[in-house]
Amino acid sequence: MRYWAAAKSAAGRAEEAIEAATLAGALAAVRAAHADRPELLRLLGVCSFLLDGEQTGGRDHAGVPLSAGWTVEVLPPFAGG
């Protein structure tokens, strides 16, 4: 997982290794590992995600498979335009 902007601050780190078969599984692992970081847990509900540079869009996270070595980028909402 690679965290950007407010997600990076809320996670207290820029990156961490997570093993999961789906995006939903990866997010569940992050939530479990960071149960003591309520701001990160809140942000995960509004973030966008890139998988190896590709947007996940509105797909159900349980149906988004992950492959070994992929990077999941966690992008919080950005202000401006």
In-domain check, residue 81 = no
In-domain check, residue 58 = yes
pLDDT of residue 43: 95
pTM of the model: 0.91
User: What is the Cα–Cα distance from 70 to 16, expressed in whole angstroms?
Assistant: 12
Segment 25-38 mean pLDDT: 97
Q: What is the pLDDT of residues 37-63, one digit of tens each?
A: 999 999 999 999 999 999 998 899 999
Counting DSSP H helices and E strands in the chain, the numbers are 3, 4
Whichever domain contains 40, its CATH number is 3.10.20.30
pLDDT of residue 57: 87
User: Is beta strand 72-75 parallel, antiparallel or unpaired with respect to 2-3?
Assistant: parallel
Split into its structural domains, the chain has a count of 1
Range of the domain at 49: 2-75
Instruction: Look at residue 80 and tell me whether its pLDDT is greater than 80.
Output: no
Segment 2-31 mean pLDDT: 96
